[in-house]
Structure 1
C-alpha cells in the first residue's frame, strides 16, 4: 500500500523490478512547472530513516536555498511519502520566490534605464539631490528674475507607466498631464510653464515683503498667498493676494479693536474703485485708507512689533503655534490670542460664561472684555 500511495502521488518515480520493499526509486519530481531528475535511496522504506536523495545541479541549487526548512521537516516526518510531499512544496515555493526576485530585478533594471534616459533629457544640471535608490529626486529651476524654485519628485516602482508624485512650492500646486514616453521631461515642461505664469504674482509679494513689516507667515514660501501686515498702532490687516490677478485689490481682513477697524472697513468699501493696479499694494492701502503702513524691519526697527503692541498681552508672544493675536480690548487696544485670553478669564473668580462666550476683566486695563470659548 505504501508503494502504491507514493507512485500515485509521484507518478514519474519508478521502482526497480524486485520482490519485497523497494530500496530505491529513480525518475522525476515536479518542482513548479519543471520536472527534475532524482534518485532516492530508501533502505528502510516506507520509513524515512536513512533516506538519501541525489539530483542535478539545478535542483541542488534550489535545495540549497531552503536547506534549513528541509532539515526541520526531516526531523518531523516519519515516512518517505510524507517527506517528499513537504519537500516538493518547500522547493516549489523557493523556486517561485527566486523567479519573483528575478522578475523584479528585470523590472527594476528596465525602470532604472527609463528613468536615467529621462534624466538625460531633463539635464543633470537641474538635479540638486537624488537618493541612492533613485526613488527621490530634487530638481531646481530659476525664473527670469533669478528666483530659485525646487521640485520634489518621488519615483514609484511602476515608473514610467505609473506617474511619480510631485511637490512644487507654488500656490496652486503642479498640474501635469502624464506621458510615460516623455517621463520626467513632461513634468519639468509643465513646471516651467507654470513658473512663467506666476512671475507677476511673485513680483507683487516680493515687493510687499521688502517694503513692509510682515507679521505672518514668519517665513513665507512661494506657495503662500497671504500676508499679515501692520497698518497703524494696534491694527493689522490680513491680505490674500489673487494668484490670477495679483495687482488687483486683495481680500482684506482687518484685525484690532472695532472702533479702529470699523472706519477702515467703511473706507475700503467706499473707495475700492480707486484701487490702481499700476501702484503697489502699500501705496494703494495708504492712499485709500489714509494710514501709514509699518515698513519692513531694519537695524533701527528691531522690536518694531513690540512698539506697535502686536504681541499678546498675556503670553508676550506674537505666535501661539499657528495663531496670531486676533482679539483686541476695546478700552486699552491690547491684543490677545483667543486661547490665552480664555485661559486667563477662566482663572478669574469673577468671570462668567454665557453660552459659548466668557466675560471678565481685561488682563491689561481690568475693563470688561469677552471672548468666544475656543473650539
Structure 2
C-alpha cells in the first residue's frame, strides 16, 4: 500500500512512497488543491517531483500522467492512478539476465591477455567493450563488442568502421584476442582504399558526406559552377573506375560527362591515386576549399537555403533527407533546387503553365525557362 506523507500544514504538498513490483518508488506532489477545494478542483495544476530513476521510467508517458491528474479530484485517487500506470510500465520493462560469476573472471583474464592498452572503454557490467588497435599506417580503429551472458558459448556481436563488414569466425575456444586479430587482419585489406579516400578528402572539396567515416565508400565532389560528381569506390579495388554520377546544369555537365565516357583508356589503375586518374580523365583539377569561392560550390537549394529536406523520397535520400535534385539549365546560372521547393515556387507564380504533371515556368534566380515534374495537379 502506498504511503502518503503531508509536507506542510496546509496539505498542499505530499511525499509519496509507492511499492510496485517489489520495489519502492518515491515522488513529491506539490501545488495540490487545499482541503476546502477537495472534490471540486482537479490536480491538473499539481507538480510532480520525481527522482532520476523514476523520471527515466516515465519518459514518454508524461501526457498520460497529465491526463490522469486532470481527472483526479484528490491525492488518493491520483496515487492509485499513478500506481496503475507505473505497474504497467514496470511489467513491460525487459528482464535483465546477469551473467554468472565465471563470466566476469573470464573477461578480466582475456583483457589481461590482450593488454589493457587495447581497451578504449568498458561498461560497468563488462558486457560491452570498445577494443582499439592501430593499423600499419597509424590509424586508430575501434571495435565495438557486445558480449552475451553465455559468452563464449554464444558468439558475441562485433562491429567496426570498415567498408565491408567482418564475418566473425567463432568457435568454442573463441576469445577477445581472436576478435581483435580478425579485425586487424580485415583492416589490412583496406589500406589502399583509405589512402585514396584520405587523399580525396585532403585535396578536393567534398560536399558529402560531411563527416565521412572509414566505412564510407561514397563521396560527392564539387566541380564548380554548382556542378558535382558523386563516386562510389570499390574498397577492394579503390584505384579502378568507380561508379559515378554527375549533377548540375546540362550545359556544363554534358562536355564533362562525354570526356569521362570517352577517355577511359587513360585510366591507369595500379600506379596512380584515384583522384589523379579522375582529374586526368576529366581534364580538370578539382576545386579545393582553400582557393574556391563558396558561392560557386554551394549546393544549397536557392529557394529554401537548405541542403537537405527531411523525410524525402527518391534516389538521393539519406537519413537526413532529400538533397537538391533539380538545377537551372542556364549554364551561367546552374542553381540547384529541391524539386518539392521548385514545385511550390512555380505554383505560386501566375505565369506558370502546367501540362499533365509537368510545371513550366522561370528560374527563381535568373528567369531562364525551367520545368519540373509534380506529383499532383
Structure 2, unmatched stretches of 5+, are 1-21, 23-96, 310-319
Q: TM-score, normalised by structure 1?
A: 0.66
Q: 1:267 to 1:157 in 2, by over 3 A?
A: same
Identify the match of residue 306 of structure 1 among 295, 300, 311. Answer: 295
Identify the match of residue 193 of structure 2 among 168, 177, 201. Answer: 201
Q: Which moved more, 1:166-175 or 1:190-199?
A: 166-175
Q: Does 1:176 align with 2:168?
A: yes
Show the counterpart of 1:366. 367
Q: 1:157 to 1:334 in 2, by over 3 A?
A: same
Q: TM-score, normalised by structure 2?
A: 0.65
Q: Does 1:315 align with 2:308?
A: no
Show the counterpart of 1:25. none
- Across the two proteins, how many residue pairs are aligned to each other? 269
Distance 1:205 1:288 in 2: 18
Show the counterpart of 2:122. 130
SS at match of 2:132: strand
Q: 1:120 to 1:324 in 2, by over 3 A?
A: same
Written as runs of structure 1 = structure 2, the 5 A alignment for 1:242-281 is 242-277=234-269, 278-281=271-274
Distance 2:375 2:100 in 1: 52
RMSD: 2.5
Cα offset, 1:212, TM superposition: 0.5
Deviation readout 1:246-285 (Å, 9 max, x if unpaired): 0112111110012222222221111112112222333222
Distance 2:105 2:284 in 1: 62
Distance 2:148 2:345 in 1: 51
Q: Which moved more, 1:219-228 or 1:157-166?
A: 157-166
Q: 1:121 to 1:253 in 2, by over 3 A?
A: same
Cα offset, 1:353, TM superposition: 4.8
Q: Does 1:139 align with 2:131?
A: yes
Structure with the higher fraction of residues in helix conformation: 1
Q: 1:337 to 1:327 in 2, by over 3 A?
A: same
SS at match of 1:128: strand
Show the counterpart of 2:324. 325
Q: 1:358 to 1:108 in 2, by over 3 A?
A: farther
Show the counterpart of 1:335. 336
Cα offset, 1:364, TM superposition: 1.1
Written as runs of structure 1 = structure 2, the 5 A alignment for 1:231-242 is 231-242=223-234
Structure 1, unmatched stretches of 5+, are 1-65, 67-103
Show the counterpart of 1:214. 206
Cα offset, 1:237, TM superposition: 0.1
